[in-house]
Amino acid sequence: MQGHLKKMHTHLSRVMNNTVQYELPLNDQSIALNPLIGKSIKLVHTGHIACVHCNKSIKKSYNQGYCYPCFIKLAQCDLCIMKPHTCHYAAGTCREPLWGDEFCFQPHFVYLANSSDIKVGITRHTQTPTRWIDQGATQALPIFKTQSRFLSGLIEVAISNHIADKTNWQKMLKKKPLPMDLTAKRDELILLCKEAIQEIALAFESQAVEFLADEKVVEIHFPVSHYPTKIKSLCLTKTPEITGVLQGIKGQYMLLDTGVLNIRKYTGYEVEFSA
Edge to edge, the sheet with strand 9-13 lists 9-13, 19-26, 29-32
> What residue segments make up the domains of the chain, in order of their start?
55-104, 106-219, 222-264
Q: Is pLDDT of 65 > 90? A: yes
Q: Model's pTM, two decimal places?
A: 0.94
**How much is the pLDDT for 133?**
97
45: alpha, beta or left? (left if phi > 0; alpha if psi -120 to 50)? beta
Mean pLDDT (whole number) for 174-189: 95
103-143 pLDDT tens trace: 999 999 999 999 989 999 999 999 999 999 999 999 999 99
What is the pLDDT confidence band of residue 205, given thresholds at 50, 70 and 90? confident
**Residues 66, 51 contacting (CB under 8 angstroms):** yes
Q: What is the pLDDT of residues 238-248, one digit of tens each?
A: 999 999 999 99
